[in-house]
Amino acid sequence: MKTNEERLIESIRNIPDFPIPGIQFKDITTLFKDAECLQILSGMMYERYKNKGITKIVGIESRGFIMGPILATKLNAGFIPIRKPGKLPAETIEECYNKEYGTDCVQIHTDAINENDVVLLHDDLLATGGTMKAACNLVKRLNPKRICVNFIFELEGLNGKEIFDKNIEVESILKF
């Protein structure tokens, strides 16, 4: 009998040479379209965080917007989007960061998080960690009580976990 992790890994489609030659893209849309896999994944995430006092789930645009609200609902927590510049309507703060091919920025509403919040930042993939590190820096500026970070899957060979502060718990459900 397959483990839950094996079932989820099996459901992920590999797309060779996307978005550029030499990259093996892990397409998780196939995991999301399978009701059983979606239930397994949301259950695994809930079990991991149900006793951590999470008050806010912060999802990173755009794939963090899929499992983030599902988990927020299960944990009875709020959901906060982190978006690219110009997408949020109220007052925001911004964090810019370097990527392999340039710079990018992310924003959050200034009133999204307070000092009593225990925050779980969520995204689909941990590769080099640049986007999530910028999101962590952004959330830290709002002074939450504690920050945790979660990914659906991690590409272990890229050592993305190493860029995060040691006091931030970084976990992935699946590892490749």
Domains defined along the chain, listed by start? 52-175 (3.40.50.2020)
Judge contact between 139 and 78, C-beta under 8 A.
no
Half-sphere exposure of 45 (CA within 13 A, CB side): 33
H or E element that contains 71 = helix 64-75
Active site residues: 63, 100
Neighbours of 69 (CB within 10 A): 17
Distance (Å, whole) CA 157 – CA 175: 10
Judge contact between 88 and 109, C-beta under 8 A.
yes
Phi/psi of residue 171, nearest 5 degrees: -135, 150
pLDDT at position 35: 98
pTM over 0.85: yes
Judge contact between 57 and 79, C-beta under 8 A.
yes
Kindly list the averaged pLDDT for each block of 10 residues, start to end, along the chain of length 176: 95 94 93 97 98 98 96 98 97 92 93 98 94 97 98 94 94 95
pLDDT at position 112: 98
